[in-house]
Amino acid sequence: MKKLSTIILSCMFGFIALNAEVTYSMNFDKETKSLVRKMYVYKNPAWVSKVVNKDSKEFYFVSPKSMFEFYFNPEKWEEANTKDSTKLKEIIVTDFKTHKVINARGAFYVYGSNKISPAGDDLPAFESYDDAESFAKSNNGKRIFSFKEMKKGLIELLNGDI
């Protein structure tokens, strides 16, 4: 009976731990500059993104588009010491509607809206598909992408490289 109680308690605590909400943070200040565009990120907090490399070093971006620019070509920024973006410890973005810091891999990105970031045409990020869809409808968004659907070519198109 004692073993059974121990097993049940272990399962309960394991279940609670699995359902605990992960919280993310962005600790930038007025001196924090974007890795890609060298702009101050504090000026437009609704757009800020961040990655954490294998050495636990943080790098900020003025927008999701800038973060994806790094993600698809990390070798270009030697100071990030990242050759393989899939090995990043953390990739986070700011939910454009709520300003909540969220996991970029689970976010939805709106392409083609009339909202412009400091980096130009961009991809506002949202935690929920419904919020992304509502934003797209009211801001002329053309398409909603998940993280897995993002491609380097789309970032090049937004940057005017194609």
Asked, for residue 56, whether it belongs to a domain, the answer is: yes
Q: Could you list the residue range(s) of the whole structural domain that residue 151 is in?
A: 25-158
Long-range contacts of 23-28 (CB under 8 A, 24+ apart): 23/101, 24/90, 24/92, 24/101, 24/102, 24/103, 25/101, 26/50, 26/60, 26/92, 26/94, 26/101, 27/58, 28/60
Minimal CA–CA distance to 90: which of 115, 111, 72, 71? 71
Asked, for residue 57, whether it belongs to a domain, the answer is: yes
Q: Which parts of the chain sit beneath pLDDT 70?
A: 1-20
Mind listing the pLDDT tens digit for each residue in 63-98? 999 999 999 999 999 999 999 998 999 999 999 999
Asked, for residue 5, whether it belongs to a domain, the answer is: no
**CA 159/CA 121 separation, integer angstroms:** 7
Asked, for residue 142, whether it belongs to a domain, the answer is: yes
Asked, for residue 82, whether it belongs to a domain, the answer is: yes
**What total of structural domains would you count in the chain?**
1
Q: Which residue has the tokens 């900020």?
A: 60
**CA 73/CA 54 separation, integer angstroms:** 16
Q: Which residue has the tokens 């709106």?
A: 110
- Whole-model pTM over 0.95: no
